[in-house]
Structure 1
Amino acid sequence: MSDEPFNHEAAEKQITDALIDQLLTTAEQLKTTREVMRKGEDSLDRRLQRAGLVRRQWKQTEEALPALMAEARNAGYTVEGIAYTLGLTESYVYRVLREQRAAQAEADDDDTSGHDWHHPTPSAGLRCRHCGLAHKNWSGEDCPAAE
């Protein structure tokens, strides 16, 4: 043992310096690891994988988009609001809604049981060209006059 008193300040400084060196070494290792990870994220394989995932998600959304737009419009949303929310132009939304209505009308026409519905005058309700039945009175039966 030494006769000199224990120098707390020197010991504290030595411990502090060692901790600071260790902290700086750890920070440098972390920085290096992050750089390697960033390079990995920017790799061609990683970018292709991300692009493929986004594309598949978009395809699923794209298939449901016309019905979603029609549902929103029927719920009272404006075309401007739908376009803004989806990041589309108003003309595109109008076009999709027209196509959606036409597809729905075609689907409705496919289940007419032989009736050929039309408006005899602009203010008249739908009537069958073959048998004259009013659409409002139709209960789903086949047209008796259909060929």
Structure 2
Amino acid sequence: MEYPFASGLVLEPEQYRAGLNPPGTLSAADKEFALRWYPPADTAPPALVPFRSAPLGLGPGEQADFVIDPPETRAYTLGTFGDSDAVVVVFEERDGEPRYLAGRDDGGTPHNATISARLVKGRRYVVRVRLYSAWGSGETAVMCW
């Protein structure tokens, strides 16, 4: 980010000794960095279809979002598979806003994050998977059944 600095605060390089007064807008580097963490708002997440796994190519700290439009009202299980340190959270969309429904963190254990939740036909749900591992991505997938 670009921040102003008063005269005398920056000694090197010499051209900034009189102070630094950026235009007060986001730089191209700021925008590029933000897009790595926050996907564009107009990009719809892919569908998570029951009984089909979705491979995840996440790096440390990255997140993947999916939508579920359940074909019937019943209890569903949602979870990750593979070698990862992940958290899975399910939101129900209400009035266009995601509302927390359930979540599970595998807590760095050898077990995968798994949730059982009652999903209602005609409602939309968002599943978010975040990889917490600092050591690498591992081989991971998410599935709803």
Could you say which TM-score interval applies, normalised by the shorter chain? under 0.3
Determine which structure has the larger strand proportion and give its number: 2
Determine which structure has the larger helix proportion and give its number: 1
TM, length-normalised to structure 2: 0.23
- Between the two structures, name the one with larger relative contact order (CA 8 Å, sep ≥ 6): 2
Larger-gyration structure (1/2): 1
TM, length-normalised to structure 1: 0.23
